[in-house]
Structure 1
């Protein structure tokens, strides 16, 4: 089966409808884990020029514009996602593939990306372009699926052993398999659709690529649910057993 990736994935009506239902119900991890983590690491954006890579329907872009960004260039490859984006006077939506996106050098104070870069095949090339787009001192903040989650070639998710309790994914007997961690490259999994394509990279590769492009790492976080989130949604406790998200923040080095 040919993996379904990028624009083709989010423009597939079956995936698109399933994804919108997931976000509308708040059943995923975005609201509980990823959005609060991003907020902790985003710099002040008053008057800033911002680029949002893989903006989807523009929720993050609009939040940044509301926080005072002068302009947010919100980019996504999916026609369907952008068609559902709510307009904002300081958000400029662009349909483009991140693999080939070109922006002016030194045009951005901040580049953000929320749960997208694990879909990008050529991560080093994109990071080099991001470094070029950033002004000296500019920031990059992005989240992606944790490499522990993308490592196993089959990406099977939680597996039940003989001792596991039926229907319980957080107790004894349920395990998250980590295998083929050092073997980087394409992966496929069943997520809403069969054959969703992603790209696995080690954490060290993700960080070394940033450093090699002239960016200095400023933060690394593996968000987990706090007591309030666990009280509201006890099923989030499974994310205390393995991190679902990796968040990295970096800063472009100042010119000599």
Structure 2
């Protein structure tokens, strides 16, 4: 079902978050500035415009996104990738799976680290990009929750920014653990649940200009721990990369309209969640 997302509502939400974060610690004049901006947003007709958008499944969304996914300025990738690659640095080369590989950005890095790499993704268009980008790896179509591999197939499994799209987290984690060999490592990343609660989903625009989004589920840390425990996995590390100035600026609609409020609202908040676990 289509939903109209109005700029006015977005901006007032950003102003409200900025107010809350500075309620006890920020200067009084900053609170006055936020309230003045709220009045301006309510009064000016330009902020009443909206965009129709609709929720789509991951296959539809990432098909539309495939041609532009690797373009610079994606704040999630900018936060997530250094954290994931830092965890991968000390893992010996072996048989590695990039699960929900998308365009193959992690697969490419795994090849550079000396791993023998297989990638799997739900979206054929993403796989086309991955095959061209990483010819040294093998790629196949498949669902994150029904991987087309036998048990104990890989020494390392990486899954970047995918499990939050799955409503049943335990099902995804169980499947990732199934294909991991005893002693193997699983490195996964996702949108931080705090951001999902704030309404941060994965937006896209198709070739016809239609806008949509793929839902990000707000799986809590407790949800992850329960899923890991049920799958026989032990946590080695948990990282929470935070939004910096450039990543806040990448939230273009809010930053262009109310830059000071956007920085006050988002700067320093955890944006991604990265886990390193072992079977």
Q: What is the TM-score with the length of structure 1 in the denominator?
A: 0.72
1:23 counterpart = 2:50:
no
Match of 2:228 in 1: 210
Q: Deviations over 1:158-190 (max 9, x none)?
A: xxxxxxxxxxxxxxxxxxxxxxxxxxxxxxx57
Contact 2:144 2:175 in 1 (8 A): no
Contact 2:185 2:276 in 1 (8 A): yes
Q: Deviations over 1:44-72 (max 9, x none)?
A: 45431111111111121011011100x21
Contact 2:248 2:267 in 1 (8 A): no
C-alpha RMSD of matched pairs (Å): 2.4
Q: Which runs of 5+ in 2 are unaligned?
A: 2-53, 205-210, 251-262
* Mapping of residues 70-81 of structure 1, within 5 Å: 71-81=116-126
For 1:84, which of 129, 133, 137 is the aligned residue? 129
Contact 1:224 1:243 in 2 (8 A): yes
Q: Which runs of 5+ in 1 are unaligned?
A: 158-188
C-alpha displacement at 1:100, in angstroms?
2.0
Q: Deviations over 1:114-155 (max 9, x none)?
A: 111111233212211222211111000011000001125xx1
Contact 1:224 1:239 in 2 (8 A): no
C-alpha spacing 1:234/1:244, structure 2 compared with 1 (3 Å): closer
* Mapping of residues 217-232 of structure 1, within 5 Å: 217-224=235-242, 230=245
Q: What is the TM-score with the length of structure 2 in the denominator?
A: 0.66
2:166 and 2:223 mapped to 1: Cα distance? 14
C-alpha spacing 1:80/1:190, structure 2 compared with 1 (3 Å): closer
Match of 1:191 in 2: 203
Match of 1:175 in 2: none
1:216 and 1:28 mapped to 2: Cα distance? 31
C-alpha spacing 1:80/1:249, structure 2 compared with 1 (3 Å): same
Match of 1:50 in 2: 96
1:89 and 1:27 mapped to 2: Cα distance? 25
2:93 and 2:218 mapped to 1: Cα distance? 36
Contact 1:147 1:201 in 2 (8 A): yes
1:100 counterpart = 2:146:
yes
Q: Which has the higher helix share?
A: 2
C-alpha spacing 1:16/1:234, structure 2 compared with 1 (3 Å): closer
C-alpha displacement at 1:234, in angstroms?
7.7
1:139 counterpart = 2:185:
yes
Q: Give the aligned length.
A: 207
